[in-house]
Structure 1
Amino acid sequence: MFKIAPLPLRRLLLTATAVALLAGCAERVDVRGNLPDIEQVVEIEPGVSTREDVVRILGTPSTLSSFKDRTWYYIGQRQEQVAFFRPDITDRSVLMITFDERGIVQETRLNTIEDGRSIDLVGRETPTEGRELTFLQQIFGNLGRFPGATGE
């Protein structure tokens, strides 16, 4: 038979177990992308600031516009998660900075999570030609088809 630990040792073990369990419930905060501070954004003056000024203040953009490289986007989000629960997005923003032909800031616009819209995805699938292969047909279907197999 085993012996029951003395009272101070039991309290220590119970406390250590409780601390370990509560540590697993700590909140985790993830920041992804580039979330510029509002103090940095107000430093950018339309009609005055240049591309070099924007890079110095905010860093390189997350992405560039596909059309003539005249709009820069700074995209980021912050999410919090407690234990194993689904993450909660607390902040999401897209800062758009448009430049004129000379590289001077023309306009800045900030879209936040409140400006977003939910989009329903379409569940249809596009049919494709061909035949369905089983797992084994996929694995063994190419045996002997490689050029080096017959000494060519």
Structure 2
Amino acid sequence: MTPSRPRRTARLVLAAACLSLAAAALPGCSPIVEDRGYIFDPADLEKLQTGASKEQVRSVMGSPSTVSTVDGEAWYYISSKFETVAFYRPQEVERTVAAVYFDETQSVQQIAYYGLEDGQIVDFVDRKTPTRGKELTILGQLFGNLGRFNTPAPADAPATGNPTGRR
């Protein structure tokens, strides 16, 4: 019966080591949450009412994230929440857009709120430069010039390069 006692102790130590290793690895799998853009304060949003001027909106909310491209009649305050898990790309999990619409007198006509489900993600920056022509592999580039040597020009060919003949 004594030989089974060390085996049981070894198994318990091994099981405890595996559990502690698994517990230490779990925080590495939890997502990293990152807020981007405008940080909304509910108290500030309640201060805005229809009829307020652009300067009042700017003093309460600050500068907008973006302004509409047509006559500047709408200001947008955009906030996004991204989660990154391990080595994967960040995923946008939440988006809030507060749109402040102005009328002809530059006063607030309407305030609207939009979420991630209301919009469509548009990638404005592609981060890829298109190349023109034939794309060669590294081996094609290395061996592409084999057999191409400068051949002397015939005597009756027009001179190229330095027209003065000086070196």
The alignment's TM-score, normalised by the length of structure 1, stands at 0.59
Matched, 1:25 2:22: no
Show structure 2 runs of 5+ residues with no match: 1-13, 123-131, 146-167
Aligned to 1:98: 101
The Cα shift of 1:86 comes to 5.8
Q: Structure 1 stretches (4+) deviating beyond 6 angstroms? A: 13-16
RMSD, aligned CA: 3.6
Q: Percent identity?
A: 32
Higher relative contact order (CA 8 A, sep 6+): 1
The alpha-carbon distance between structure 1 residues 62 and 117, as it changes in their structure 2 partners (threshold 3 A), is closer
Q: How many residues align?
A: 122
The alignment's TM-score, normalised by the length of structure 2, stands at 0.54
Measure the CA separation in 2 of the matches of 1:53 and 1:110: 19
Matched, 1:54 2:54: no
For 1:89, give the aligned amino acid: E
Choose from 75, 79, 98 the match for 2:78. 75
Choose from 24, 38, 41 the match for 2:42. 38
Show structure 1 runs of 5+ residues with no match: 1-9, 120-129, 141-152
Segment of structure 1 superposing worse, 96-105 or 82-91: 82-91
The Cα shift of 1:61 comes to 0.7
Aligned to 1:115: 118
Measure the CA separation in 1 of the matches of 2:102 and 2:119: 24
The alpha-carbon distance between structure 1 residues 101 and 86, as it changes in their structure 2 partners (threshold 3 A), is same
Secondary structure at the residue paired with 1:111?
A: strand
The Cα shift of 1:35 comes to 4.1
**C-alpha contact 1:35 1:93 (8 A) present in aligned 2:** no
For 2:31, give the aligned amino acid: E
The Cα shift of 1:18 comes to 5.5
Deviations 1:92-143 (A, max 9, x none): 1221111123321111111112323589xxxxxxxxxx74354649xx9xxx
Deviations 1:26-69 (A, max 9, x none): 3311111114233322211011x221221222221111111111
